[in-house]
Amino acid sequence: MKAATVKTASITAAAEKRTTDKWGRMWKDRTLYLMIIPGLLFFVIFKYLPMGGIVIAFQDYKPYEGLMKSEWVGFEHFERLFSEPDFLIILSNTLILFAMNLLFFFPIPIILALMLNEVRHSFFKRFVQTVVYIPHFMSWVIIVSISFIMLSMDRGLINELLAWMGFEKINFLMSNEWFRPMYVLQIIWREAGWGTIIYLAAMAAIDPQLYEAARMDGANRLRQIWHITLPSIRSVIIVLLILKIGDVLELGFEHIFLLLNSMNQEVAEIFDTYVYTAGLKQGEYSFSTAVGFFKSIVGLVLIMGANWIAKKAGEDGVY
């Protein structure tokens, strides 16, 4: 009995010591915790608190009656969404654009980071990094406006070049066939450079002795990239791929909206623009919330599925 009492007291003392040490470490690193507060407040105010508005998806919401007095309609808005004639078209457009984004854009930052990592001239490397980073700081309005100037039928640089070479001009901006390639190329132009930052940071953490050992074994640059660099950043690639898969229905409203017109609507209409049309222009707040909720659920399921597969494959995943 006495031994059990002593053991319990020692466990309690150890727990109290761990608690004291934890608070001591937190106080020691208080500056770092204070730096977290702005980001934490951003997520709480703009990400978590608005989640309470999801209940609108299950109501016939009327602004003048508010959340408490609006009539509950259950899954009526979801049934309407799945029975809409345009649902399959919007879903296919969204999935096709996402697949093209994943297939053509996702590898570009990796390739660009590998190329920059092999550059030994520091001035040239910094110059190239600056040039490829700059488009990220431009808004989509500027990016699309530059594209319009270059691709327009009336004195557009590309069409003028085609005419000078003897080819017919192409109406890129109003064409269904050219909308998707134009969309992907604009994303590559704006975001590829910025995406290299994470991969370059991961490459900087690779032990240089691995490369020295590989060179002693006769491995050339390509062999070193394939057997050392890529395996070393594999976990980072997997995590970013999982997060990318979660955005399968989240392609970004502003970019698509700026490219959308009556001539390419058949291939350009996605859930984000559909929510804007139904929610803001037509005032159907409950229906647009249901569409947004559907997108979030699909993204969550895909992230969890992709993370589960990554765990089964021996990777760390995102949680």
- The string of pLDDT tens digits covering residues 198-213 is 899 889 888 888 888 8
Task: Summarize pLDDT for 254-293 with one digit per residue, the tens.
Answer: 889 888 888 888 888 888 888 887 777 777 888 888 888 8
Find the mean pLDDT for residues 108-128. 88
User: Is the per-residue pLDDT at 110 higher than 90?
Assistant: yes
Name the band, by pLDDT with cuts 50, 70 and 90, for residue 188: very high
Whether domain 75-312 has CATH 1.10.3720.10: the reply is yes
Class of residue 133 by CB neighbours under 10 A (exposed 0-12, middle 13-18, buried 19+): middle
Q: Would you state the pLDDT for residue 249?
A: 77
Amino acid (one-letter) located at 281: K
Q: Would you state the pLDDT for residue 19?
A: 62
Q: Would you state the pLDDT for residue 24?
A: 76
User: Is the per-residue pLDDT at 7 higher than 70?
Assistant: no
Name the band, by pLDDT with cuts 50, 70 and 90, for residue 28: confident
User: Is the per-residue pLDDT at 108 higher than 90?
Assistant: yes
Is the overall model pTM greater than 0.85, yes or no?
no
188 or 84, higher pLDDT: 188
Q: What interhelical angle do 122-133 and 107-118 show, nearest 10? A: 160
Task: Summarize pLDDT for 282-302 with one digit per residue, the tens.
Answer: 778 888 888 888 888 888 888
Residue spans per domain, the chain = 1-55, 75-312
Q: Would you state the pLDDT for residue 253?
A: 84
- Please state the separation of Cα 153 from the chain's center in Å: 33
Name the band, by pLDDT with cuts 50, 70 and 90, for residue 104: very high
Find the mean pLDDT for residues 128-135. 89
Q: Would you state the pLDDT for residue 107?
A: 93
Name the band, by pLDDT with cuts 50, 70 and 90, for residue 141: very high
Find the mean pLDDT for residues 132-136. 90
Find the mean pLDDT for residues 2-26. 61
Nearest to 191 by CA among 140, 145, 257: 140
- As a whole number of Å, the end-to-end CA separation of the chain is 43
Which residues, other chains included, contact 183 with Cβ-Cβ below 8 Å and sequence gap of 6+?
Answer: 97, 100, 255, 256, 259
Contact 270, 210 (CB under 8 A): no
Q: By percentage, how much of the chain surpasses pLDDT 70?
A: 93
